[in-house]
Amino acid sequence: MSKITRLLGIAATTLTGLGAVKRKRMIDAASPELRNRQLWLPLSMRGPRSLKVGRTMMGKQPLVPATCSVRAETASAGGSTPVPVLVYDRPDRTTPSGALLWIHGGGLVMGTAEQANELCSRFVNDLGIVVVNVDYRLAPEHPFPAGLDDCYTALTWLHQHATELGVDPTRIAVGGDSAGGCLAASLAQMALDRGGPAVCFQLLQYPMLDDRTALRRDIDGLLWSNTSNRYAWSAYLGHAAGGDEVRPWAVPARRIDMKGLPAAWIGVGSIDLFHDEDLTYAERLREAGVECELHVVPGMYHAAERFAPKAPAMVDFIDRMVAALRGAIAG
């Protein structure tokens, strides 16, 4: 019996009454092509035990296709903590090319760089760029600013090694999914405030941007619930989500002045927990004169492309991400 089958059996016995009614209503709101039995899993992270389960459920990581090479490196810059990174490339790449610093998702408390193997390889093969994928430190073991500092170190390393990597330093973008989108947005802010390293574009895939969403009781989400959201933000920030937070770059949506940030693409589903905060962030970027393309997929829940990768809406969603990055950094 598979792990998922066992968990579905647990779900059948634990998700009853009002919980089952609520879950059914949420699943019914999803686009039919995106519905999946795993959406019935009632897992939410509340503490160390459920975090351990969540980390275990991340499962096997996708392989890198033969058309793309990947190698492990250790990024370091100045006296910063060395950071493991994966560098994706292809042998026939025209140099110098653009580059993407990719940051994986997982609520700031889960995940590894390898989980993005397939997407990073797609960027390399389709666009002829280099992708550097950061294996940053996770909360709660390493709360803010550890993970963000790791991303800044990786970005600095990418710039410092641009010549040997065959990269044009004026065409370096940052991007990430979910919590990785949070760190990518924070990284763009940090780089702007520190006067570099330069970032030319932000590719934000259903980004986790605002800890204050965790205080809302009127919304919830499939796969990533607001219970998990509250736990993850609290683990990362070191205090209750939605509380006082004045540290720069800790929460991207709390930034007051958006002027001068690099252009962005933001993609999110209409029933994603992060839908409202993502739309607000996009509007604020535009109001500050920052170019921002926003793409909202009707009936899409959080990370739906992982559960229905061949659904036309998900194929289109990833195609749009690739196209946006192509327009920003491809030669």
**Enzyme catalytic residues:** 178, 272, 302
Range 70-79, long-range pairs (CB < 8 A, 24+ positions): 70/117, 70/120, 70/121, 75/132, 75/134, 75/153, 75/154, 75/156, 75/157, 75/158, 76/153, 76/157, 77/153, 77/156, 77/157, 77/160, 78/156
Q: Residue 295 is encoded by which pair of tokens?
A: 């793409």
DSSP 239: S
What is the arrangement of strands in the sheet containing 167-177, beginning at the earlier edge strand? 69-75, 83-89, 130-134, 97-103, 167-177, 201-205, 263-269, 292-297
C-alpha Rg value of the chain to the nearest Å: 19
Torsion sign (Cα): 250, 182, 270, 24: negative
Q: Hey, is 33 helix, strand or coil?
A: helix
Q: Hey, is 309 helix, strand or coil?
A: coil
Residues in the chain: 331
From its phi and psi, is residue 206 left (phi > 0), alpha (psi between -120 and 50) or beta?
left
Q: Residue 240 is encoded by which pair of tokens?
A: 């209750």
DSSP states of 121-187: HHHHHHH--EEEEE----TTTS-TTHHHHHHHHHHHHHHHTHHHHTEEEEEEEEEEETHHHHHHHHH
Q: Which of these, 69, 20, 65, lies nearest to 40 by C-alpha position? A: 20
Q: Hey, is 234 helix, strand or coil?
A: helix
- Rounded to whole angstroms, the Cα distance separating 83 from 76 reads 6
Segment (H or E) for 111 = none
